[in-house]
Amino acid sequence: MSFEIDVVLARGEREFAVRVAGAAGITALVGPSGQGKTSTLDAVAGLLRPVSGRIAVGGTVLFDAGQGIDLPPHARAAGYVFQDLRLFPHLTVRDNLLFGWRHAAPDRRVLGLDEVAGFLDIAPLLGRRPHTLSGGEAQRVAIGRALLSAPRFLLMDEPLTALDPARREGVMALIGRIRDAFALPVLLVSHQQDEVARLADRIVAL
């Protein structure tokens, strides 16, 4: 399973050409601010329509301007961990996690709440609200919600930025375990180029 991305994206007046070829495992997108990294994740998730080009993941074509293919977000089944996490503030951790599960296609639900909570070490937090969580705890809950949505692949926007060095190590180890345990391709954006170099199977500079 790997990402094949060859698109031109437009944001306002600017255009970005993005190319990621045949990378399995963890692919890191790095580069200066404002170079279209988040826009690339949005395009793969189906939240931003490219001007032209093609996006496929694991051989499934998600977008192809030439062939008129543009799958809607739910059919793409991205597990998207947003930079600002976007946990629902009025829901408990349990209900944030179950939101992902309820939106998963029933025949693709391979993971359950208990398994994911155990894997991410967040079982003690299930009754809490997001505003009571530390940055690292909230990050793990957001990853859990994405995993429970039965994703075909994961998109992670700056998963290390808000964390102190010790927590960064923990989240990096976790992302590596997700790749190995669930065989999910991961496309992640990072500014921490040195750290991400140890984790990623491939680095693409925008």
Q: Which residues bind ligand ATP (CB under 6 A)?
A: 11-12, 14, 33-39
H-assigned helices in the chain: 37-45, 73-76, 93-102, 113-120, 135-148, 165-182, 193-199
Give 6 or 95: the residue with its C-beta nearer to ligand ATP. Answer: 6
* Residue 132 beta carbon to ligand ATP: minimum distance, rounded to whole angstroms: 27
Q: Residue 18 or 87: which CB sits closer to ligand ATP?
A: 18
CA 170 to chain centre: 17
DSSP 3-state of 183: coil
**Closest distance to ligand ATP from the beta carbon of 14 (Å):** 6
Judged by beta carbon, residue 9 or residue 175, the one nearer ligand ATP is 9
Q: Residue 117, exposed/middle/buried by CB under 10 A (0-12, 13-18, 19+)?
A: buried
Look at the block and give the residue holding tokens 């359950």: 112
| Euclidean distance between CA atoms 206 and 204, whole angstroms | 6
CB of 114 to ligand ATP, least distance (A): 35
Q: At CB < 8 A and 24+ separation, what contacts does 70-76 make? A: 70/46, 71/46, 72/46, 73/45, 73/46, 73/47, 74/103, 75/46, 76/44, 76/45, 76/46, 76/152
Min dist. Cβ of residue 41 to ligand ATP (A): 8
Nearer to ligand ATP by Cβ, of 15 and 180: the residue is: 15
Closer residue to ligand ATP, CB minimum distance, 137 or 157: 157
Per DSSP, 20 falls in state E
For the four alpha carbons of 159, 177, 136 and 42, in that order, the dihedral sign comes to positive
* 27 vs 38, beta carbon nearer ligand ATP: 38
C-beta separation of 175 from 159 below 8 A: yes
